[in-house]
Amino acid sequence: MTPTISRLALAALALSASILSAEPALAAVACGSGNFDAWLADFKTDAAAKGISQQAIAAGLAGVTLDQSVLNRDRSQKVFTQTFEEFSGRMVPPRMTRGSNMMKQYGSVLSRIEQTYGVPGEVLVAIWGLETDFGVNTGKFATIRSLATLAYDCRRAEQFRGELLDALRIVQRGDLAPADMKGAWAGELGQTQFMPSSWMKYAVDFDGNGKRDLLHNAPDVLASTANYLAGYGWQRGKDWQPGSPNFAVLQQWNKSEVYSKTVAYFATQLARAP
């Protein structure tokens, strides 16, 4: 959880009391202060202090403004209430044929990915289909603007401040240009919807073209998703049904049991498909 303002204030008081002879530090512009531009200027200074290049900061944050539509979506999220039968029945049948075709089209890539990370292609294709219809619907929100908006808002400020820093690191590393960084309203990017922190930790350049591209490059998308699951303890050659250790890994991908069960069900259907 993010620290409350009262905890931050107490920490500041304790620091000033213990170092009376020191010059007082300039206070950071608080989240939700009513001045987004001042907050953004302060964030740029902090990003530079954390080792992000001025070029990446300028490219990523030039002209960024608050997006009220993102705040509206964040504050109006509904509790997921569909049953497994309802959700899987709506999501899986329309995607079975395309999923089977993707298994064939990327068969050799999926085989190499399984050899490398231990995650079967059926699981990766199921996630791919459920997240973005196999890359068709990746989202149209400007990622950096969304993350800056959520970092400025006080509800989850520290979480999204970290994600915004990692989005700039993606730019600095050369994986994506800021203009290409479009995704879901809460900052998820790519064909399997990675947050920037997961991109930095798990994205791989599987086809060896020098970039980790989870927006346009299917081998990178699938291998990075496998690397994520492997990073959370996927057990090679083991089942993925509810109750198994690998199902617990799927719940690290999405903590909704209904969603995880739907991934497992879809993957099993793909494994049985001709």
Q: Specify the CATH number for the domain of residue 62.
A: 1.10.8.350
Looking at the fold, whether 128 and 153 belong to one and the same domain comes out as: no
Residue 3 counted as domain residue? no
Which pLDDT belongs to residue 13? 34
Q: Does residue 189 contact residue 147 with C-beta atoms inside 8 Å?
A: no
Residue ending a domain, among 149, 183, 217, is: 183
Residue 128 sits at φ, ψ, to 5 deg, of: -55, -45
Residue 69 counted as domain residue? yes
Q: Work out how many domains the chain is built from and give that number.
A: 2
Looking at the fold, whether 199 and 264 belong to one and the same domain comes out as: yes
For the chain, what is the mean pLDDT? 90
Looking at the fold, whether 223 and 179 belong to one and the same domain comes out as: no
Looking at the fold, whether 146 and 257 belong to one and the same domain comes out as: no
Residue 243 counted as domain residue? yes
- Where residue 78 falls among pLDDT bands split at 50, 70, 90? confident
Mean pLDDT in residue range 90-117: 98
Mean pLDDT in residue range 149-173: 96
140-156: per-residue pLDDT in tens? 999 999 999 999 999 99
Looking at the fold, whether 149 and 232 belong to one and the same domain comes out as: no
Q: Please give, one letter per residue, the 3-state secondary structure of the chain.
A: CCCCHHHHHHHHHHHHHHCCCCCCCCCCCCCCCCCHHHHHHHHHHHHHHCCCCHHHHHHHHCCCCCCHHHHHHHHCCCCCCCCHHHHHHHHCHHHHHHHHHHHHHCHHHHHHHHHHHCCCHHHHHHHHHHHHCCCCCCCCEEHHHHHHHHHHCCCCHHHHHHHHHHHHHHHHHCCCCHHHCEECCCCCECCCCECHHHHHHHCCCCCCCCCCCCCCCHHHHHHHHHHHHHHCCCCCCCCCCCCCHHHHHHHHHCCCHHHHHHHHHHHHHHHHCC
Looking at the fold, whether 177 and 193 belong to one and the same domain comes out as: no
223-245: per-residue pLDDT in tens? 999 999 999 999 999 999 999 99
Query: Does 52 score more than 60 pLDDT?
Result: yes
Q: Provide the CATH number for the domain around residue 259.
A: 1.10.530.10
Mean pLDDT in residue range 254-265: 96
Query: For this structure, is 131 an active site residue?
Result: yes
- How many percent of the chain have pLDDT more than 70? 90
Q: Which of 114, 122, 131, 188 is catalytic?
A: 131
Residue ending a domain, among 121, 153, 183, is: 183
Residue ending a domain, among 150, 183, 216, is: 183
- Where residue 81 falls among pLDDT bands split at 50, 70, 90? confident
Residue 24 counted as domain residue? no
Which pLDDT belongs to residue 17? 37
Which pLDDT belongs to residue 214? 97
Which pLDDT belongs to residue 87? 95
Looking at the fold, whether 174 and 198 belong to one and the same domain comes out as: no
Mean pLDDT in residue range 110-134: 98
174-233: per-residue pLDDT in tens? 999 999 999 999 999 999 999 999 999 999 999 999 999 999 999 999 999 999 999 999
Query: Does 18 score more than 50 pLDDT?
Result: no
Looking at the fold, whether 150 and 257 belong to one and the same domain comes out as: no
Domain, as residue range, for 51:
36-74+140-183
